[in-house]
Chain A
Amino acid sequence: MKILALSLLRIGDFFQQVHLFQQVLTQFPKGELHLVCFSDIKGVEKLYPNWKFHFIPRNAIQRELVERDRPWYRGLYLMEESLHSVFSTEWQLVLNPTNSSFSARLMDCIQGADKRGTQFKDGQTAGWNQELHYLNDYYRSLPKPEETWIEITSKALGFSLPPAPPIRLREQGEIWLNPLTSDSRKNWPFANWKSLANIFVELNHKVRILGSPGERDWIAKHFPKVNCGAWSFSELRDQAENCRLLISGDTSVPHLLALERVPMITLFLGPANTYKTSPRLSGISNLCVKVPCGPCEHRGTCSQPTQICEDSIRVREVVQVAQVHLQERPANQVILGPEVFWIDAKGERHEKESVRRGSPSRGSTSTMAG
């Protein structure tokens, strides 16, 4: 059975979609999975050798379409070259977990017996169901939906994901810090990462700073006292067993390492929304902020004179939550500041009581006064 899925988002979204793809293959164990992705995320190909990837050179196509001294029809040529086998195959199942205008139009160019997800058919929108309407019309505006993005996306395509798997505890290993994300609004201040690294070193933990291979010199310069993990995604996955605890912003790394069931603390800042894109793993912690402007829109810039959310999570809060994961501190001794809430390993939300009274919480809470 030939199955095609359009995965035309960023790399972190791809790693979230892997849960869906695994579920699809559980349901169709003899299925041959093909994926259409943008070439920006070509690095994932090595991670899944059993899946067939078709990469669209988006940047090159966009350049052909917008630069006046280039022939715009070469954009069409590049698309047809990169998707030649996709367009010429009669697929049994075509899935669109991307939900973008481009992917919906692309669905109209693909031949398939069973096409699911946002799509056009002969130039008109088609294929709607209740979940797709919910996802398309309401989900984006919901601050605290009951299901994560990948859960509702999977449902819209007719697949229910199993419960999130539990973390796999490591008795030994390093604490990995991943300071950079692709969006500056999701970044926690660099000085905080430095302090965090120093504190863990003083507490006799082995610390490693993660980054891409191109960031090796940058890491060595700014974190001379700790190990450097400037790795490709396949190297990162190969080393995952050595990670006792990951601390990261909301970026691709926690989503990849969630597939390896690595214990982690994720910091949700700027547009990152813990209720939508929490790593799909039970037993992890998410530290989030309560600011009037957040979570902000995914596209755009910070609306505030200074990014107030990045200063809301303090180093001591991260250290204390990490100590809970490392079983060095009981959970009830975590002291949270007024702008922070913590979703703990059991999925319970903790926040400072005085703030909760002023701003009613929508979820289950247990108070941990500081």
Chain B
Amino acid sequence: MVDLPTRDGLRLCSHVNPQGEAQIWADSILGASAGQWIVLGVGAGFHLRALTLRFPEDEFLFLDFDANVELRAPIGDRKKIIILEPLFESGQVFNQVILNCLKTGFRVISFKPSWSGLETNFRRIESLLLGHQGECNPLLSADAGLKKAFFSVPATLEINIKSITETDQTNPSIRWRRLRALRELVT
């Protein structure tokens, strides 16, 4: 039995069959190659290995808040691990992570067992990366009109392009007009 890491006594992956759990998780990811993946939660690394094997041509960026992560599975060279401060600044993450990936595009996926004990932090970074309401990244908040529209969406509603452009504005900002146009591509 491999000695598996825990955080504050909480398990970060299955202690019975971590490889099997990781394989099921990797197989459950729908869609084709992403090119660039951002994976939230490093845990013991079994899920990272399963993912890198499933998408052998892709690049991977693993984010975590735990400086003491202990990988128990080899994850190859096509990866980069970034350990974030628990009270990270959104502007810093935008510059350090998002800006580098915007050109190629990226998918954000999470291995929830590895969030154990740090769920609030992980939810916040997920929200920032995906552009949900909890965090407004600088690309959106630079436009005052858009920022206002962004935060006027009910908290229970996950942000999407429809909800952010739901109400027509008088003297809409440039960014809002562009988003309003984009909405027509998906309605």
Contacts and interface: CB of A to CB of B under 8 A. Distances in A.
B129 interface: yes
Contacts of A108: 177, 180-181
A79 B186 contact: no
Looking at chain B's contact residues, is the secondary structure mostly helix, strand, loop, or mixed? mixed
A71 B131 contact: yes
Interface string A176-204: 00000000000000000000000000000
Interface stretch (A61-69, A148-156, A307-315): A61-69
Contacts of A58: 185
A123 B168 contact: yes
B106 A109 contact: no
Looking at chain A's contact residues, is the secondary structure mostly helix, strand, loop, or mixed? helix
B105, B161, B185: most-surrounded residue (chain A CB, <10 A): B185
A161 interface: no
A67 B178 contact: no
B140 A73 contact: yes
Interface in A67-112: 67-77, 79-80, 87, 100-102, 105-106, 108-109
A76 B169 contact: no
> What is the size category of the interface that chain B forms with chain A?
35 or more
Contacts of A62: 185-186
A161 B140 CA distance: 44
A117 B137 CA distance: 35
A80 B140 CA distance: 13
Interface residues of A, number: 31
A106 to B, nearest CB: 5
Contacts of B137: 73
A100 B131 CA distance: 28
Contacts of A171: none
Interface of B: 31, 98, 102, 105-109, 129-131, 137, 139-140, 159-161, 168-172, 174-175, 177-187
